[in-house]
Structure 1
């Protein structure tokens, strides 16, 4: 698993916006920025839709005021699903990134196999990335939602 002080692995994440589909290289996406990246096991799933993403939507302005250039949500879903979920959650301030094949999640070492529930998914986590390097990493224990929420990250940023 990736650790604090390590560089984010080079990978590709997709994003669908009003301008169309963009395939972001993570080296470029996280370069020269302070980014909050949080991951969910799946778009439209209960905890993700009822608490995790909404918390970042509500606190987006405060997080950005703490010196964050970008807030991004990633899931092992395609960019179309991530865009639709973001629209349904009023997440305009959050970059909704798809890791369709799970390669980014696997490269981080934060993948999990949910078997017939959904296959390979991401563990629930949040991290702060500064110029491509992880400076904060909060990984949830299985079936928990305590350290990757927006409030915890906002506290870590102050």
Structure 2
């Protein structure tokens, strides 16, 4: 079962590269702030690199103007997420989070089996609008689609 509006973000840890490998608790990441968490099936994959992440890079200032933090997540290791962020010129403040073991992805109920592509367990493509740790809106893509989780779509459907 997948996450629903009104549910709290599950408490798990994620990784990112900062001053070495940093471990981040989802409660610390999401409590006390408004944020969009968007997830992609894989760093450096075609749609993720050509459209999904670039849209959030392009509109990052629009989210920040509205007081919304932005987090990108994938079931990739933190070194890959860091390298991908650098290659995509991700601005400071747009956090590239590693769910390397798929713990948050599974806790959200948004995993998919990409074994047929040689990728194993991955995240479905989605975006969540979270306010103080509680999911207020979900933008979950159907398999193979990229529409409702785009930065443009999410921005157009967020509360003012």
1:6 to partner: Cα distance:
0.3
Alignment of 1:6-155 (within 5 A): 6-17=7-18, 19-68=19-68, 70-92=69-91, 93-117=93-117, 118-155=119-156
Task: Give the Cα separation in 2 of the matches to 1:94 and 1:77.
Answer: 17
Deviations 1:109-129 (A, max 9, x none): 000001142000000001111
CA RMSD of aligned residues (A): 0.9
Q: TM-score, normalised by structure 1?
A: 0.96
Structure 1 unmatched runs, 5+: none
Deviations 1:117-154 (A, max 9, x none): 20000000011111100011000011100100000111
Task: Give the Cα separation in 1 of the matches to 2:3 and 2:52.
Answer: 21
Give structure 1 regions of 4+ aligned residues with deviation exceeding 6 angstroms: none
Structure 2 unmatched runs, 5+: none
Task: Give the Cα separation in 2 of the matches to 1:28 and 1:113.
Answer: 29
1:34 to partner: Cα distance:
0.4
SS at match of 1:84: helix
Task: Give the Cα separation in 2 of the matches to 1:94 and 1:142.
Answer: 25
Deviations 1:63-97 (A, max 9, x none): 111121x2000000010000000000001241000
Task: Give the Cα separation in 1 of the matches to 2:40 and 2:89.
Answer: 17
